[in-house]
Amino acid sequence: MSPESRPSSVPDLLAMKAAGRRIVMLTCYDALFARLLDGPDIDILLVGDSVNQVLAGRDSTLSATLDQMIYHASAVRRGAKALLFVDLPFLTYQVSVEEAIRNAGRVMQETGAHGVKLEGGAAMGSTIDALVARGIPVMGHLGLTPQSVNTLGGYRVQGRADDAATRLLDDARAVEEAGACALVLELVPADLARRITESVRIPTIGIGAGVHCDGQVLVLHDMLGLNDAFQPKFLRRYAELAAEVRRAAHDYAADVRSGRYPDDAHSFS
């Protein structure tokens, strides 16, 4: 793997951490955006169960389904060749190890993904181990785990108290020991994220977890400013496309109503 190339396989992620190369991940849910993102800049595309909120308008990720994830992941795969991970939705991997294997296997078989992502720490160790043993790479997810939002009491920073920080450190080591290839840290204090990153060999990918992680991930529509009602502290917008969409719709409507569109240049003789 050359310093300029993006990762083409899961082991490349470990090599990137060892070399000190920051990992860039974005969510993606469709073929069009996948084509736009499929280049040297983005290392990993994640088909997150956040699709349930971003595109389906739900209040949480909890009602996302396996078929929904497979549909969107298949579309992304058709649009891009980048390294692709797919979230396993709520209750598709927690009920039993056997069910987790079956559902993760469907994702891999039907989408062409490189791996799956699941939430949870030490309690998910046997599940992660079983998936990896069957050739399914697993990315872990600790800190704010959206599928546990009701238990956590909302979308809030995790690991501020000493005992909570210790649990997250222990969970990170357990996820690594079980065989995970990478670990998302969401809404974790920056110093704790640094300690976790330094204590595990696998790369950490932060979202609201500070600069010391081995990489970063954002939800694409948030990063582009399309979801302009969502303004958490950790989010930096790199475009303001919501305003552009509204402007374009306004100009289109004005041209249609005035008869300026379609004109001769946009009509057939």
Report pLDDT digits (tens) over 61-85: 999 999 999 999 999 999 999 999 9
* Residue recorded with tokens 């399914």: 136
Per-residue pLDDT band at 5 (split at 50, 70, 90): confident
Say if residue 2's pLDDT is above 70: no
Report pLDDT digits (tens) over 216-245: 999 999 999 999 999 999 999 999 999 999
Residue 269: count of CB within 10 angstroms of its CB:
3
Determine the average pLDDT of the residues in 122-150: 98
Predicted structure pTM score: 0.96
Residues belonging to the active site = 186
Q: What percent of the chain has pLDDT over 70?
A: 99
Report pLDDT digits (tens) over 169-213: 999 999 999 999 999 999 999 999 999 999 999 999 999 999 999
Say if residue 43's pLDDT is above 90: yes
Q: What percent of the chain has pLDDT over 90?
A: 98
* Arithmetic mean of pLDDT over the chain: 97
Per-residue pLDDT band at 13 (split at 50, 70, 90): very high
Residue 256: per-residue pLDDT: 98
Per-residue pLDDT band at 111 (split at 50, 70, 90): very high
Say if residue 127's pLDDT is above 90: yes
Say if residue 3's pLDDT is above 90: no
Report pLDDT digits (tens) over 207-217: 999 999 999 99
Domains in the chain, ordered, with CATH? 11-238 (3.20.20.60), 241-269 (no CATH)
